[in-house]
Amino acid sequence: QVTLVESGGGLVQAGDSLTLSCAVSGRTFSMYAMAWFRQAPGKDLEFVAYINRVGDSIYYEDFVKGRFTISRDNAKNTLYLGLNSLKPEDTAVYYCAARRPNTSNVRIESSYDYWGQGTQVTVSS
């Protein structure tokens, strides 16, 4: 069993920055590709960013536009998401997800095997 625990969310003002963390335990972290998703109030879950097992393949959703940075530290079993230039529309619960190697599109939520409980990010205008 793999456990994912997010942290780092909070209430910030537009233009501020945050760093989200996702601590992974239970299995070898480097076995899993990782991603961040988010869900805004009243909206569907949406893909934010993906990183492969070794960190040399990264994808972002278009709305990120250079503002967010996904990274991982396999020695610390931790995934990160740096959020810069935050906007009110970035307000959402942010989830990390892990998947065993597969060829499914990285944006498909059902292709992920494990999920964290989420961390709330609220951006005020």
Query: Using CA atoms, how far apart are residues 125 and 67, in angstroms rounded to an integer?
Result: 17
Specify the range with the lowest mean pLDDT, choosing from 5-9, 26-30, 112-116.
Answer: 26-30
- Which residues share a beta bridge with 7? 21
Tokens of 112: 């992920």
pLDDT in tens, 31-85: 999 999 999 999 999 999 999 999 999 999 998 879 999 999 999 999 999 999 9
CB atoms closer than 10 angstroms to residue 103: 6
Three-state DSSP state, 100: coil
pLDDT in tens, 36-51: 999 999 999 999 999 9
Tokens of 29: 């972290």
CB atoms closer than 10 angstroms to residue 1: 6
Residue 64 φ/ψ region, left for φ over 0, alpha for ψ in the -120 to 50 degree band, beta for the rest: alpha
Give residue 37's pLDDT: 98
